[in-house]
Structure 1
Amino acid sequence: MTLQVLQIAHDHPAYTRGGTEILAHDLTGALNAAGGVRARFLAATTALQRPDDAPGSLGMQEDDHLLRTGRYDRFSMLRQDGTDWIAALDRLLGAFCPDVVHLHGLDRIGAEVLAVIRRLAPSARIVMTLHDYQILCPNDGLMLTVPDGARCRLPGQDQCRACYPAMSSAAHLLRKAHLTALLSLVDRFIAPSRFLADRFVEWGLCADRITVLPNQVRQVAQPDRAPRARPDRFAFFGTVAPHKGILPLLSAARLAGDRLTLDLHGGLGHAEDGFRRAFADALAAAPQASHPGPYDRADLPGLMARADWLVMPSIWWENAPLVLLEARAAGLPVICSGIGGMAELVEHGVTGIHVPPGDPRALAETMRAAAADRNGQARMAAAQRARHDDTAYRGFVDAHLDLYRNLSGKISA
């Protein structure tokens, strides 16, 4: 009995290289290779990506479905582009008849999609992976206060109004009420980190509805990394943005001296002009650092092979950054902020080193010591490699299959 699974993400890897859409797309392919499963992938797209598609229409990207979205209210997480998309989704659900619909977040797709799926496919079970905090936090899910950027552990009506005073208390209250009501339609939540799961429980989700399932990445061929006498090459991979701790990282590189190098791989995306200027100034003041710019995922193993350490000094509560899993696959030790999901993925002193977030001096001292610790780098690199193999990803896929089959009642023979 074939299990039918529809995966839905807020973007497609062909257009955006974010971790959520990559993981969801990879999972779709792995499910189709598992046997006894038929999986399809549906991603939201915008006018910038698909200008010729009408809002609400369905298109294709090779074998994947694309749902063209229009205006979207980020505060309420509701769509404001009409209802044509409902008919398009109805056609897809009617043709595919999924046993399970697995959503990877609600951004751009719109929170009301939960009610639409429940009405159009009443027998399908709904699973949602909580990849981020957008449901909890109107500030793009960053859980950082506005405008000072302090970390917020538990968003709430009063805390959120302090960040967004133009919105009334009633608006913040109603936001949580309507999201809570829509989330009640989800049969099972998946959290890639215990830290994120705890934040959602504190917010109001029942702990019994959440399965903590750490993310994994597919095994890919890795270039050989020749041992080096001095492991002084540091690299950052990801979006160059304030919440990624880029400015403290550049300050740390400058303070650490000229006996190390730092390569910043990634684009600035939609960064504001003020940050772009600050980044350019900080980069110019740190001759040890370079900014090669955006990279293709296919090039990532080769880029990581040139580095001795990956640095991820994020100042926000990261959940389960894909790049940390890719570093594990590459056998690349990590220096990261010891908070949130980063602290769960990187074991201090074993697979990497934790540093205080937003502290350039502490980070500089750690980088100087790491650059001189050949034995420590080799030991942590070996520990990283030991924690990643093809069985880890197969276990990740099998755990999803077990969850799908238990929910749908389609137990494999």
Structure 2
Amino acid sequence: MSRAVVILGAGPGGLTAAQRLRRYLPPEIAITVIDRADEQRLGISLLLVMRGWRNPADVSLRPAQVLRDGIVFLHAEVTGIDPEARRVHTDRGDLPYDALVVALGAEVVPEAIPGLEAAIAAGAAGQFYTLGGALHLRERLACFAGGRILVVVARLPYKCPPAPYEGALLIADRAREHGVSDSVQVALFTPEPQPLAVAGPAVGQRLTELLAERGITLHTGQELVAVDAAHREAVFSSGAREPFDLLVVIPPHQPPAVVRAAGLTGETGWVPVAFPTMRAPVDGVWAVGDVTTLRLPNGSPMPKAAVFAQQQADAAARDIARSLGATAPEPEISGRGRCWFITGAGEAGYVEGEFLAEPAPVVQLYPPAAEHFRAMEQELAEWSAQASG
């Protein structure tokens, strides 16, 4: 009987898992990647779209054109996962599997914050974690001549950890470019005790200084509990009510409903996985990327970022191949990661370090420079051009 590996999700983790598995597995073992979207984008690309520096077509990749060597891409909606029967249900039929990789990422759920959806519908609020949201904010910012803009991290954890800080910096940068910086006030609110707490106090202090240099006020330890769309106020658990003219929210995140319904999530609300194999608690299932929870040596969750999703995908592919009798290296995850950090005015820095270092991550923030921005652009261009390679 032929054997099959099914991968749910065609983002960085899912694509990497498929490509590594094809390298390790014999051709008679089928590999199928399923995703409801036939286009993919890296998270940082959405910031460039919001800022008006890129259009969607400039930062898109089509999985069907990237996956080669007999890997099948199925453009379909996953409607159910049956781990006991080892079958995946989709709106285009069922697929059996011998090994399943769950790489469906994290979904944003603005409805989890009372009043937020009403504020978005009224044009008073927005978010840049989806393409539609980034385009909507681009339009709102294009006609924003003055007032108070709040950038608010609603809940932890969320994907692309530097993104809220980049978003605030890019909004302030746009105001300067259009000559309205004197009439635009940008404030950032986060539940964390300091910016990017997982990266340590030195990085948090440098980010705090960078925000202050750009005229952005920072409020830590503030968790959003509601939005009063009628009065344009953000309501926090501390009891504070902050007025705004435009609210930019990093909405709460959660695993897709199909993952939760399959009983794959643990007490944290995310899929718990073993290190470094990325095995889920259910036989025959591996999970990688933003849908998972994986603890660092100091107890903090591993950041939800593409660089770690790709490392996890390679580790899972190795373990799957070995479990299916193929030859592959032992699973490993380096824990070394780098995330670009766009600051505006054609400059970017980056956050890089050893996130699996003991007793805590050793991370550094490299200062903004034009050369870093160009390197980031080159990396994004190479990612988007994979289909022609």
TM-score normalised by length of structure 2:
0.31
Higher relative contact order, chain-length normalized (CA < 8 Å, sep 6+): 2
TM-score normalised by length of structure 1:
0.29
